[in-house]
Amino acid sequence: MTESSIHGRGVFAARRFERGEVIEEGPVLVVPGDESALLDDTDLLGFTFEWNDGVAVALGYGSLYNHSWHPNARYDHDYDRGLVIYSAVSTIARGTEITVNYSGDPEGRTDLWFDAATEP
């Protein structure tokens, strides 16, 4: 993790990743739905994923990947194992920032909780 031109911190590839290669499998801490609103007034706001009937904080680098409308990675939920799995959707060179589309689909478009209209 280092400084990102996209938004403060970011995750950068320590080595080259090929398309389809798993970058990280991050375990999650699940916050039940009836408690998830409590996170709205904390620094964790914006670092969580929708998860079954609540939200989850991904451990490892999972909650630190920045958003891009043209991501080089994707994430998938493995509810049975309690993981978020990040994999490359294109070749990622060593030193390149790893980004995901926060809508959940690398080509998806949805309203986000911040202005994502522009990106470097």
Residue extents of the structural domains in the chain? 2-100
Q: Regarding the domain delimited by 2-100, which CATH topology (the fold level of the hierarchy) does it fall under?
A: Beta-clip-like (2.170.270)
**Residue stretches of the chain with pLDDT short of 50:** 112-114, 119-120
Of 45, 50, 110, 112, which Cα lies nearest the Cα of 79? Answer: 50
User: Are the beta carbons of 64 and 1 closer than 8 angstroms?
Assistant: yes
Q: What is the pTM of this model?
A: 0.77
Predicted local confidence at residue 95, as pLDDT: 95
Per cent of the chain over pLDDT 90 is: 38
Residues 44, 96: Cα–Cα separation, whole Å: 25
